[in-house]
Structure 1
Amino acid sequence: MNQVEINSRIAAAKIAVMAETELMHREFGHAKPVIKHDGTKVTPVDIAISQHIQDAITKQFPEDQFFSEELAPTALPVPVTARFCWVLDPIDGTNNYANGIIYCAISLALLEDGVPVYGLVYDMARRILIHGGTGRGVWNGDERAKARAELPDRHSLIGFHSPVEKIYADEGKKLIENFKIRGLGSSTLHLTYAAIGLLDGVVDHNNKVWDIAAACAICTEAGVEVHYLENAPFPMKEFTLNAKRVQYAAGSTAVVAKLRQVLGR
């Protein structure tokens, strides 16, 4: 029964996410952002996609909890009480989206008992749905995908965002000195690209659970290790906009070991 319940949710999630792609592409580079209380940006498209996907999911699965960065009714923590819950980032990479930079994604995760079991990421740049989860494989569109198996070296491609806090600037310098860096402006895509073999690994200091929940489910199935440097977010016990930022190094076991060596932690 468990597999049937998860399969029905995956099918509904695919339809709900893909239904929003026309709106996402139509308003790309045109949607006007505003600054939220936390200093991040949001556009009317973020809010519309959130509402549409929430409506579609909760109509079919009213017993599930649904969490979105853009629709949280309060900044207070909401306990996770349902067996199944959903975590949505309607547009990861809103800065890119508003400025007409193509690296953006819709990120929708299905969690069971607070642990991501399936992730769906619509990659706007490549116009493709990346999805996968425990025992169900990893899919790059209609094709099976897998993570890179190469040992780390100075040519390894590492996704990295400039850290928000200056105390991590030295770690950024170390990464730049040891690897080839790619900064796409989307934490979701960085981690998902590691899962499907486009990047060797990722280091990030500046995430919330909605940025990575879907990608983490895909990474688990792909054999990509996500080593939390601070504030492991799963199993998720509560959803709050004020959660501490998640820091991690991700990649194959060998890549994570090398990243941790370079970072010194």
Structure 2
Amino acid sequence: MSNTELENYLAFSIKLAEECGQVIRDGSKARYHKSEEVKGNNNDVFEKYGNPTDLVTETDRKVEEIVRDRISKEFPSHKFIGEETVAAGIKCEFTDDPTWIVDPIDGTTNFVQGFPFVAISIALAINKEPVVGVIYNPFMNELYTAIKGKGAYLNRTTRLPLSYPHNPLPLPNLSHCLVLTEMGSDRSPSVIDKKIRSIHNMVAQPGQSNRSSGGGSTKKAGLVRGIRCMGSAAVNLCFVAKGNADIYWEIGCWEWDVAAGIVICQEAGCIIVNANGPDESPVDILGRKFLAVRGCSPSAGDTDAKQSQLRIVRELWNVVEEIECPR
């Protein structure tokens, strides 16, 4: 595919994201300016599959309908995978054909609560690889864009990472890392207990007492600088791409949560692999397990930055638990 075609897809995606960003802002205002008679009536917020931690709103559905309609008219031969389309029971097959992968509102709970880490995420995949990515946070007016091989940008002009053209210093070990993660919508004991233990291991210092194991010392310890949960996979990936955070680790998100962010991160020099290890091959977009490490310059003795990043990847794999996450 030519650079001109990719640039056209990017321009289309940006225009669409900004249009839908206004719809999201309007939807937020409507929620907070209801008449007194209907205030507190949340009948525009629905639980998916009866799960109160997995929400959808009428705005989610409206935005996805706009995106799907625009794409079908502009590129009728292209495929489409959208979060709400799949939730409605419509089968979406991921093939080598040009495929748009869309999350109309990533961070729906944030949207409902008025917490501003919310984004529309639009990606185009060709031969099952994301090649164009656009993420737009309409509340912070932050637009992240990338084309494979052409770099990643914030608000069109600022090249990512923010330190560009200089790469950030390499990460010596986990104790220098700020980690982004999420609790996720699956709160079953087999999942959430392991996530909590993994987070405990990330923040623990070696030899620290571990009550959950009967008071014995912690064998797995990362002593990371901090953990942050912002409620949006797309926003998390953008913060790693910028270099504001060092690692994003999540189990249980979907391709529409990460497809655009994968392009943006990779073009900002990040590495993205399986969140549980030990496979260091390129991340499986359908795998539901994602680990991103920010871009950096090589450590002393390394021939490239990837070796420095993989050392951090392996350190994190050593402290997190294996969590099954079927589709």
**Taking structure 2 as the reference length, what is the TM-score of the superposition?**
0.72
- In structure 2, runs of 5+ residues without a counterpart are 32-41, 163-167, 205-222, 295-308, 323-327
Residue 225 of structure 1 is matched in structure 2 by 271
Pair 1:101 & 2:129 matched: no
Q: 1:149 and 1:83 mapped to 2: Cα distance? A: 39
Q: 1:110 and 1:181 mapped to 2: Cα distance? A: 31
Q: 1:53 aligns with which of 57, 64, 67?
A: 67
Alpha carbons of 1:38 and 1:64: their partners in 2 closer, same or farther (altered >3 Å)? farther
Pair 1:34 & 2:55 matched: no
CA deviation string 1:144-192 (max 9, x = no partner): 1117444144342110113641233211111233221111011111112
1:138·1:196 contact (CA, 8 Å) conserved in 2?
no
Q: 2:158 aligns with which of 143, 158, 166?
A: 143
Amino acid of the structure 2 residue aligned with 1:146: P
RMSD of Structure 2 on Structure 1 (CA): 2.5
Following TM superposition, by how much is the alpha carbon of 1:261 offset from its aligned partner in structure 2, in angstroms?
3.1
Following TM superposition, by how much is the alpha carbon of 1:248 offset from its aligned partner in structure 2, in angstroms?
2.3
Q: 1:259 and 1:124 mapped to 2: Cα distance? A: 33
Following TM superposition, by how much is the alpha carbon of 1:105 offset from its aligned partner in structure 2, in angstroms?
0.7
Q: 2:101 aligns with which of 87, 91, 96?
A: 87
- Percent of residue pairs bearing the same amino acid type: 24
1:85·1:111 contact (CA, 8 Å) conserved in 2?
yes
Structure of higher CA gyration radius: 2
1:117·1:134 contact (CA, 8 Å) conserved in 2?
yes
2:78·2:99 contact (CA, 8 Å) conserved in 1?
yes
1:13·1:57 contact (CA, 8 Å) conserved in 2?
no
Following TM superposition, by how much is the alpha carbon of 1:206 offset from its aligned partner in structure 2, in angstroms?
2.1
Q: 1:200 aligns with which of 239, 246, 264?
A: 246
Alignment of 1:93-242 (within 5 A): 93-141=107-155, 142-146=157-161, 148-151=168-171, 152-162=173-183, 164=187, 165=191, 166-177=193-204, 178-179=223-224, 180-229=226-275, 234=284
2:135·2:144 contact (CA, 8 Å) conserved in 1?
yes
Following TM superposition, by how much is the alpha carbon of 1:38 offset from its aligned partner in structure 2, in angstroms?
6.2
Amino acid of the structure 2 residue aligned with 1:169: I
Q: 1:233 and 1:46 mapped to 2: Cα distance? A: 27
Q: 1:50 and 1:235 mapped to 2: Cα distance? A: 20
Q: Say how many residue pairs are matched.
A: 257
CA deviation string 1:80-138 (max 9, x = no partner): 34521100000011011011111111011110111111110002342111111311111
Q: 1:215 and 1:69 mapped to 2: Cα distance? A: 15
Q: 1:76 and 1:60 mapped to 2: Cα distance? A: 21
* Structure with the higher fraction of residues in strand conformation: 1
Residue 6 of structure 1 is matched in structure 2 by 6
Point out the more displaced range, 119-128 or 211-220: 119-128
Point out the more displaced range, 123-132 or 91-100: 123-132
Q: 1:92 and 1:68 mapped to 2: Cα distance? A: 11
**Taking structure 1 as the reference length, what is the TM-score of the superposition?**
0.87
Alpha carbons of 1:158 and 1:105: their partners in 2 closer, same or farther (altered >3 Å)? same
CA deviation string 1:40-59 (max 9, x = no partner): 21001101110111111221
Q: 1:247 and 1:105 mapped to 2: Cα distance? A: 20
SS at match of 1:207: coil
Alpha carbons of 1:72 and 1:224: their partners in 2 closer, same or farther (altered >3 Å)? same
Q: Tell me: higher relative CO, structure 1 or 2? Use CA pairs within 8 A at least 6 residues apart.
A: 1
Q: 2:285 and 2:116 mapped to 1: Cα distance? A: 32
- In structure 1, runs of 5+ residues without a counterpart are 237-244
Alpha carbons of 1:168 and 1:76: their partners in 2 closer, same or farther (altered >3 Å)? same
Alpha carbons of 1:38 and 1:133: their partners in 2 closer, same or farther (altered >3 Å)? farther
Alpha carbons of 1:155 and 1:230: their partners in 2 closer, same or farther (altered >3 Å)? closer
Following TM superposition, by how much is the alpha carbon of 1:235 offset from its aligned partner in structure 2, in angstroms?
6.1
